[in-house]
Amino acid sequence: GESVGLHLPTLSVQEGDNSIINCAYSNSASDYFIWYKQESGKGPQFIIDIRSNMDKRQGQRVTVLLNKTVKHLSLQIAATQPGDSAVYFCAERGGSYIPTFGRGTSLIVHP
Amino acid sequence: DSGVTQTPKHLITATGQRVTLRCSPRSGDLSVYWYQQSLDQGLQFLIQYYNGEERAKGNILERFSAQQFPDLHSELNLSSLELGDSALYFCASSVMTDSYEQYFGPGTRLTVT
């Protein structure tokens, strides 16, 4: 597959561990946040979203936490599996409905 | 599989040339978005169409243009290509013009030599 980026922050974890991927956003007016997963050679895939009136949202094995005070977003993946290896992007929307994407974090899961 | 298709998968061309990238949205989706992803820039929004009309413009160069056809497929035209245009180009689609959830295609890898 094709690499998404050569200079991304990287998080390496062991299979079965919990992973936490962090994202700082810039626009205090942003009202909606999305996490995407991008596997090598594929397009971004929606994982989970959260609105600004919430501080936590849970999905299947994933939890997103939002701290508006410090403009910080995190994605927690429980019991990380090798199939979770990918680049993870956060995206924010504020003012316009077009999301602004962060640079991404590369997650590497070791079996 | 997101249901969004893009062709071609890979494209290699020379500087100064013109290329056309094609995107078919998911069945029922009226809105199409184009993004550029380069190694040093991340995902950059280029342009959005909704039901044939341009709805939003991002960081799209004047050398680039797009359109959405009556059958809702979209084409992104890149002309007078430069080395710096080498990137992955993604198309995404959504049901409505302001849908929160966008479905991305597999992308077209453009290499300008």
Each residue's pLDDT tens digit, B37-68: 987 777 899 999 999 999 999 989 999 999 99
Using the predicted structure, report yes or no on whether residue A99 has a pLDDT greater than 50. Answer: yes
- Residue B74: band (very low, low, confident or very high) from pLDDT cuts 50, 70, 90: very high
Predicted local distance difference test score (pLDDT) of residue B93: 94
d(C-alpha B76, C-alpha B6), whole Å? 11
CB A65 within 8 A of CB A22: no
Residue A6 above 90 pLDDT? no
Write out pLDDT tens, residues B86-104: 999 999 999 876 666 789 9
What is chain B's length? 113
Which residues of B are less than 8 Å from A3 in CB distance? 39
User: For residue A2, what pLDDT is reported?
Assistant: 36
Of the candidates A3, A98, A104, which has its C-beta nearest B42's C-beta?
A104
Q: Tell me, what's the pLDDT at B97?
A: 64
Nearest CA in chain B to A91: B43
Secondary structure string (H, E, C) spanning chain A: CCCCCCCCCEEEEECCCCEEEEEECCCCCCCEEEEEEECCCCCCEEEEEEECCCCEEECCCEEEEEECCCCEEEEEECCCCHHHCEEEEEEEECCCCCCEECCCEEEEEEC
Query: Which is higher by pLDDT, B47 or A95?
Result: B47
The C-alpha angle with vertex B105 and arms to A80 and A64, in degrees rounded to 5, equals 35
Q: Do B90 and A44 touch (CB under 8 A)?
A: yes
C-beta atoms of B104 and A98 within 8 A:
no
State the average pLDDT over residues A54-59.
96
Q: What is the pLDDT of residue A4?
A: 39
Inter-CA distances, B71 with B8, B32, B88, Å: 19, 12, 24
**Average pLDDT over every residue of A43-50:** 92
Q: Given an 8 Å threshold on Cβ–Cβ distance, is B90 in contact with A99?
A: no
Paired sense of beta strands A10-14 and A105-110, if any = parallel
| End-to-end CA gap in chain B | 31
* Most B-contacting residue of A39, A101, A105, A106 (CB-CB within 10 A), to test interface: A101
Q: Please list every residue in chain A whose beta carbon sits closer than 8 Å to the beta carbon of residue B7.
A: none
Give the model's pLDDT for residue B98.
64
